[in-house]
Amino acid sequence: MSFISFKNIKLFKSPVFSPQREPGPGHPPKEENARFGQSLLQNPFIYIIIFALSLGYFVSYIPSKSLPELQPGEIAPSDVIAPADLTIEDTEATENRRREAVEAILPVYVFDLNVFLNTEEKVRQFFVSGREWLKTGPVKKDYVQLQRDIMDRFALELTPNDLAALEKEGFGADLEAMILGLLEKYSGQGIILSKNLFIHKEQERGFMVVRNQEGEKAIRPKDILEDKEAKDKIAAEINKLEISPRKKGLLISLSINFVAPNIAFNKVETEARKEKTRAGVEPVFYTIKKGKVLVRKGDEVTPDILKKVRIINESLRTKRAWLANFLGTFLLFGLLLFTLWF
């Protein structure tokens, strides 16, 4: 086994330069590779770089001294002192602040204006088709077939008595106008399928209702109606009208069939607002001065002290800036060693 002789390594420039010989055609490739490796090992620049890399690695890797690990309720065996000026993020306080901010976000519901517009068009088409049926049908009307057609086209469940009453009223425009007026009144207040769907503390905190271009508004559950409640209010209002009982029954039957919920929970928008709010909360920092006594010898270790010691140790052990420290240290030692060599 051959050893590297450090006597052959020249750490300082020699004043005498010998001309390099051109490799002759008779030198085999293995001999050339051996000469190249030998010349590389004798090059002081290689050792300077290796030495600077080693120094940079070990110097930048040395961590700050951590504080002793303590237990809750323990009596401190010695003073625990902050080893340096530290600006530390209180991750627990930051997370609590973010959680409080997220919990303050109200659930988002959307008021769909198109629901009433579609219902209005549906009512008008219903009465138009009814008037056409009166014109084209035979003298003896087939209510069963008409009932099926209405179910297929408008998804309305009407009895033969309702159809007979509609025929007597001639599918009148006054009926159409009264139904549209009632639907517009209660749809404008807002109708949800059921208030039992409130599972995000809407009953206690309220919720946000977005009305397209009209903006948004925070309201309480009592400010809107659920489907059954809207139908009951419509029926109660019709019963107060001074019209025949037959017409009242017809109005109630038609109106409650056309009632449609127009408020629904928007989960995507709610979660997006929560994430945006969470990201916007600034971290909580506090500064601990070097030499500050966290706990004195003989004092009981409290949870607050443990929290500070844990945060300080986590800050001391972090290696986020290790690469920058390593590169800086390597360049510093490399520059010094090259300067000394020259």
DSSP string, 130-197: HHHHHHHS-SS--HHHHHHHHHHHH-----HHHHHHHHHHTS-HHHHHHHHHHHHHHHHH-EES-GGG
Residue 330 reports pLDDT greater than 80: no
Which amino acid belongs to residue 292? K
Model confidence over 140-186: pLDDT tens digits?
667 788 888 888 998 888 888 888 888 888 898 999 999 999 999 99
Instruction: From residue 86, give the alpha-carbon distance in Å to each of 20, 62, 284, 316.
Output: 59, 18, 14, 9
The structure's pTM equals 0.64
Model confidence over 76-135: pLDDT tens digits?
888 888 877 778 788 888 999 999 999 999 999 999 999 999 999 999 999 999 898 888
Alpha carbons 314 and 69: distance in angstroms, whole number: 12
pLDDT score of 1: 43
Task: Report the pLDDT averaged over residues 244-265.
Answer: 92
Q: Which residue has the tokens 């930048």?
A: 60
DSSP-assigned beta bridge partners for residue 293: 81
Alpha carbons 105 and 341: distance in angstroms, whole number: 66
Q: DSSP assignment, residue 318?
A: -
Residue spans per domain, the chain:
108-275
